[in-house]
Amino acid sequence: MPDQRCGELLEALSLYIDHEASRSLCEELERHMAGCLDCRTVLKTLEKTIALYRGRPDEEALPANVQRRLMDILGLSGPAAQPDGEAEPG
């Protein structure tokens, strides 16, 4: 069962994960997690979630024809705006 400190310490996990926590806070969190299965589970879950997010493939770029139409709609089309020197279809 989580103790009273769990809530307070869990609020600091983002600092800990991002390596922005002070040394004393890191030590306090590590001491607490050594004896608290619930907090260790939360930490491992957050670490896995971050790793999965970072490992996802980059979003694909818009297809060239969709990009051109979008630029036309936004009024940003023109010779300088065409990718790879493509001419605007006439």
Domain count, the chain: 1
pLDDT digit string, tens, across residues 6-15: 888 888 888 9
Residue 76: the pLDDT is: 77
Does residue 87 belong to any structural domain of this protein?
A: no
Does residue 60 belong to any structural domain of this protein?
A: no
- The residue range of the domain holding 38 is 5-54
**Separation CA 33–CA 3 (nearest Å):** 11
Does residue 31 belong to any structural domain of this protein?
A: yes
DSSP letter, residue 31:
H
Does residue 64 belong to any structural domain of this protein?
A: no
pLDDT digit string, tens, across residues 27-83: 999 999 999 999 999 999 999 988 887 877 666 677 888 888 888 887 777 665 455
Does residue 74 belong to any structural domain of this protein?
A: no
**Separation CA 37–CA 75 (nearest Å):** 57
Does residue 73 belong to any structural domain of this protein?
A: no
Closest CA to 64 of 85, 35, 38: 85
Does residue 76 belong to any structural domain of this protein?
A: no
Segment 17-25 long-range contacts (CB within 8 Å, at least 24 positions apart): 17/43, 17/46, 17/47, 17/50
